[in-house]
A and B are shown apart, each in its own frame.
Chain A
């Protein structure tokens, strides 16, 4: 049981390049989330999904797109990377309902945009 995994762990992009971050979970969770963490800013929600085929915007969605084609995977795309997107990105997942709100996090992807 690997929990939540993220690929890649590190990446350096040039401004304007595109990339996709992959999140996978093997806990059969309905809900999945993408966060970014910046120094002194805590964790901010980018997009989330409450089920396969559904996505919704979080607090800071601009410049990102997401897809949830399979229940276990949640992809985060950057179409045209900007230096402001330099950050550590965390994926998380959780059960639906019951209001347990415990989210399980992946190890993070450190992205640098030059």
Chain B
């Protein structure tokens, strides 16, 4: 049972345009969401997060939107740059008394074309 779903395995955009990566979740207990970025042959690195008490969090070119009623979040990258080409993982967590476990989606490979 996949609790965090990234239904688009890949996405291709032109440099300078907006990239929108989507993530859906099924567990209503999830209350904290993160995006990780992964380059080939490297470990994932944290990008941005959002708590369920917010509907938007912005950090430079990256903005995450959360729609709790739809159990949907999205990552917007504006403007997209070739260096943004990577696999992006959505992750979610529920308050489990400190066990800090994350559930990851399968990832979306973003390609930004010059």
**B-binding residues in A (CB < 8 A):** 4, 31, 35, 40-45, 48, 50, 56, 58, 90, 92, 94, 96-97, 99, 101-108
Please tell me if the beta carbons of B106 and A41 are within 8 angstroms of each other in the complex: yes
Contact of B100 among A4, A35, A101 (CB under 8 A): A101
Which residues from A are CB-within-8-Å of B34? 101-102
A-B contact pairs, 26 of them (CB 8 A): A4-B43, A35-B104, A42-B4, A42-B89, A42-B105, A43-B104, A44-B104, A45-B102, A50-B99, A56-B99, A92-B43, A96-B98, A97-B98, A99-B32, A99-B100, A101-B32, A101-B34, A101-B93, A101-B100, A102-B49, A103-B46, A103-B100, A104-B46, A105-B44, A107-B43, A108-B43
Please tell me if the beta carbons of A105 and B45 are within 8 angstroms of each other in the complex: yes
Number of interface residues of B (CB under 8 A): 26
Cα-based distance from A40 to B104 in the complex (angstroms): 12
Known contacts A42-B105, A43-B89, A101-B93; is A48 also within 8 Å of B99 by CB?
Answer: yes
Known contacts A4-B43, A50-B98; is A101 also within 8 Å of B49 by CB?
Answer: yes
- In the complex, the number of residue pairs spanning A and B with C-beta atoms less than 8 Å apart equals 63
Q: Mark B82-111, 1 if CB is under 8 A from A, else 0.
A: 000000010101010011111011110000
Which residues from A are CB-within-8-Å of B43? 4, 90, 92, 105-108
**A-binding residues in B (CB < 8 A):** 4, 6, 9, 32, 34, 36, 41-46, 49, 89, 91, 93, 95, 98-102, 104-107
Please tell me if the beta carbons of A45 and B101 are within 8 angstroms of each other in the complex: yes
Please tell me if the beta carbons of A94 and B104 are within 8 angstroms of each other in the complex: no
Cα-based distance from A64 to B114 in the complex (angstroms): 44
Which residues from A are CB-within-8-Å of B41? 107-108
Please tell me if the beta carbons of B44 and A43 are within 8 angstroms of each other in the complex: yes
Q: Please give the distance in Å from A74's CB to the nearest CB on chain B.
A: 14
Cα-based distance from A105 to B89 in the complex (angstroms): 13
